[in-house]
Structure 1
């Protein structure tokens, strides 16, 4: 299956339509997904009570973790009805598009890492956004100079062809057991009836308030009388509910053809700017043919052995799997479990910088550039790169140059470091009673994406094309039909016995890579369980002079790292990452875990909880 490309299924779309009509006749007026965590409905308004939010859960039978309790509950409903991990992942992601619409939605793209237990096989789906075919390599240059980032972001030029819906359908065709309309039903009901606004939703809306006010579609979709909805209020998105209904009825064709596709193209080509707004909003280049031609693709996952574990990640056009894998291979040369924690963190920084140097030079869309994946992930290359780490331990001067793995030519180009911005994005992890696993990370890029909603359809369009370099002559340059490099790093690890050990991921821009790497080291080398590995203070270096770190990193640790020569000027303004995942305990036991406090905490649940 790896390496093949599947078209969207026209036959399945017709089948989904027929099933939806049958279900409408058979199912009563009480739709799935209307129940909250206590199984009750709001008697006055029909609004589901917010589900209880727990950061950890242990038990059997299946698990769901995400950034939001409504989303976790949606996935659990599917598992309760006999669905598998892929079914649950689709339902969870659809709900995140309702209750966390600024992080990831059908207006963006993502990457699925899937473990098929029956065949003992890990596969991956690339549902990354693509540049419209008319995109020139110098799209983000005007008169030879870069368009300022804020103007690139809030424009039609930044909006790639969304891939989430095609990814849903591709995963469902191969592995799903339930029709799409049933998987979207929990999210559709909550979009229609409303959800209780929490602090995180308010924070995200506030971050985008000035942008939303400048677009008629965004103002009408996400603001209430031009203002941010209040904590505790009920927020509805009937336009998104209608869009989900269309997709559930007609499959992905409802999104990539017809009225939704026409509305997307109109939004890209004619951004709905409020009269009198002073923002310079450039139109985009997307055509209907770009949507109709979009393909979600099977890709080969990356794989490295670390200690006695096997680590699977996402391959190009994501840089996550190769960069995490290379850094682990570099760290393989040290017995981290026998070192003081300050030494471990020092080596973590050094390995990250080396791997990011190679990421910057070689990673791009493999359909357009030759990415030396095998060379980047070879232990020999990691051993060569490790020689640049100074002993006795002292920080190297950064940025470091890229190496030359097998399969790559050294052209002498040295690229800048990766900015350690937190970005947007969302992650979820699901597993089922049969042992299948999905780690899915998806995004619309910035918090709020481009800030421009599709009028009448309830979702924001991404600004994913800003992930391209502005330089038209590097591996990650823009081009028509090309997918920008990503940092997304869904990860599945197997233990010494060959059985699943942990599956997890995180949002966070380039900090996704450093966060996933640090959690792996916490688990394998520092012998933490998943909740502790997630809760531990984080730091990261994208081959930069300065190392990014959280304010919770102990002062003594900061001072020790500075003594090595690392520069830690000021802590990150926001937490680094927002991890969730599932640890497999043996004897079918599951430990589901999400953030306990970062970004107001995440949500974890298991199908059959252990008694307290």
Structure 2
């Protein structure tokens, strides 16, 4: 770890900076709450599209649990929302099993092919070739989503995989109405899709994006899902289908092999658990950077009595916590199967105390005064859904193909686009990727490694209330989840939490990004007077979905982000 940075934080603490703030910290929180074995007796699902939400509720009505519903929602989103996720991609699945209280994290992130080496993505001058890193099969990692569904059904579900996949298969065969975001995603990637006949055949009609309102069908994807339902992993990662994938990828310049596909496996990992003011937050471990960053931010805030501060000063402290967490988040983290990470140090309250001591209560800390690091600026084209079932099982799932429609490359007859997650690696150390990421060996594209991610599916557990939360949004995912958890702890319901205007700081650029109406004019002026640079009328971002259970009243709530008209949260 960067010992200089720890030393600087420690010296600030020893010097007594910000002593007043440190001394007015809240009292020691009570023991972190736990969840009961009995559930609410009904279910809640929130996702980015009402068809997917209904698919989850359909499977629950057939006797499935939250994990079966997670398969149904995810596979349906693969059909109707290919711009953001699909079986050519991967994701993270945070699960709570009510019967024994088990929390677990399924890492279905894509992996680097065995032939990966940085120079493959270099141009003639040795610099990163953006086109190679984001377009076509060379940009694609080995998909993890199919294996995740097989794992979920076999280890946690109640229904056969065929029943959990049935709604997605039916919708792929019968079709659904093209909606505005679906059409816009194809239009946005039109020039890339046109490079490959199979991509054109799948996504375009007479050379154009399909008309809004037209019925869209994908029988090839229905066949692929049926193959996975009947054969499990072997239906995707081995045999004739795997050979089809490998042959097409290699013919178009990719580096996949049959061994790469056969070697893929889901990793089941221990979630990160945080205690904050009497609440327990269960969240994502590496290769997500989200849980570590959340831990740093909440540890920093735990030293303040926020109730004594006005809104501007709370925002100031939140921004300064974000700034410090984002400085650390990508420098030290990588694939936990291969990289030794200082997780205990980063999550230490003593480390947070040193960071807190460097925060001036009335002034912004210029980012260039902190140890240098250029953070990532990741794709926002991801999806998240949240589920609580009648028994109290919970699933928070965030998954992606990276850019809109991933790599743009489709293998004929499969019905899905391949991801372009290789660009989430530091493909050439010291050189920024298409989104500004500069990294080193910890996140290099080594054989079998999984790229670092910001996806942060999380649970928030209090004495009387529990929330399941997550969102897409690239590098802004972590701050959105952070603000959402704070709002939920303050008593807001999911319907309000997901609709709140958002703000964000990620160390560099040294700017506070804010959605319209996130701050009043007076708040913006006050933050500027503290030294913050504020862009307070940026476009909206994210597509948060959250469900909650009030155990005192046995009431469920489902909130789906109003920024997308097709999003849907329902209680059944």
TM-score category, normalised to shorter length: 0.7 to 0.9
Secondary structure, counterpart of 1:126 in structure 2? strand
1:568 is matched with which residue? Answer: 534
Choose which of 230, 233, 248 in structure 2 pairs with 1:249.
230
Alpha-carbon separation, structure 1, partners of 2:119 and 2:368: 26
Alpha-carbon separation, structure 2, partners of 1:508 and 1:266: 33
Tell me if structure 2 keeps the 8 A contact 1:583–1:591: yes
Alpha-carbon separation, structure 2, partners of 1:312 and 1:434: 19
Correspondence list, 1:140-539, <5 A: 140-143=121-124, 145-271=126-252, 283-391=253-361, 393-399=362-368, 401=370, 414-419=372-377, 421=378, 423-472=380-429, 473-495=440-462, 497=463, 501-524=466-489, 526-539=490-503
1:468-521 Cα shifts (integer Å, max 9, x gaps): 1134343212211110001010000110x3x66101100111111111011112
Deviation at 1:157, TM superposition (A): 2.3
Unmatched runs of 5 consecutive residues or more in structure 1 = 1-58, 272-282, 403-413, 608-612
Secondary structure, counterpart of 1:122 in structure 2? strand
Change (3 A) 1:390 1:440: same
1:368-402 Cα shifts (integer Å, max 9, x gaps): 211122221121111111122113x2111115646
Secondary structure, counterpart of 1:600 in structure 2? coil
Secondary structure, counterpart of 1:112 in structure 2? strand
Secondary structure, counterpart of 1:261 in structure 2? helix
Alpha-carbon separation, structure 2, partners of 1:146 and 1:401: 28
Alpha-carbon separation, structure 2, partners of 1:199 and 1:400: 44
2:101 is matched with which residue? Answer: 120
2:35 is matched with which residue? Answer: none
Alpha-carbon separation, structure 2, partners of 1:335 and 1:602: 36
User: Where does structure 1 differ by over 6 angstroms across 4 or more consecutive aligned residues?
Assistant: none
2:50 is matched with which residue? Answer: 69
Alpha-carbon separation, structure 2, partners of 1:335 and 1:529: 23
Tell me if structure 1 keeps the 8 A contact 2:137–2:418: no
Alpha-carbon separation, structure 2, partners of 1:500 and 1:118: 18
Alpha-carbon separation, structure 2, partners of 1:447 and 1:400: 36
Alpha-carbon separation, structure 2, partners of 1:206 and 1:348: 38
Deviation at 1:601, TM superposition (A): 5.0
Secondary structure, counterpart of 2:222 in structure 1? helix
Alpha-carbon separation, structure 2, partners of 1:187 and 1:241: 7
Alpha-carbon separation, structure 2, partners of 1:159 and 1:123: 27
Tell me if structure 1 keeps the 8 A contact 2:380–2:542: no
After TM superposition, the structure 1 stretch with the greater mean CA deviation from structure 2, 119-128 or 368-377, is: 368-377
Unmatched runs of 5 consecutive residues or more in structure 2 = 1-39, 430-439
RMSD between aligned alpha carbons? 1.7
Tell me if structure 1 keeps the 8 A contact 2:515–2:537: yes
Tell me if structure 1 keeps the 8 A contact 2:283–2:457: yes
2:14 is matched with which residue? Answer: none
Alpha-carbon separation, structure 1, partners of 2:124 and 2:328: 30
Tell me if structure 2 keeps the 8 A contact 1:356–1:418: no
Alpha-carbon separation, structure 1, partners of 2:85 and 2:220: 17
Alpha-carbon separation, structure 2, partners of 1:588 and 1:264: 48
1:166-211 Cα shifts (integer Å, max 9, x gaps): 1111122221110111111111111111101111212222221221
Q: Is 1:558 the counterpart of 2:524 in the alignment? A: yes
Alpha-carbon separation, structure 1, partners of 2:319 and 2:237: 43
Q: Is 1:606 the counterpart of 2:548 in the alignment? A: no
1:314-348 Cα shifts (integer Å, max 9, x gaps): 10111111111111111111222332222222211
TM-score of the aligned structures, taking structure 1 as reference length:
0.82
Tell me if structure 1 keeps the 8 A contact 2:249–2:256: yes
Tell me if structure 2 keeps the 8 A contact 1:60–1:589: no
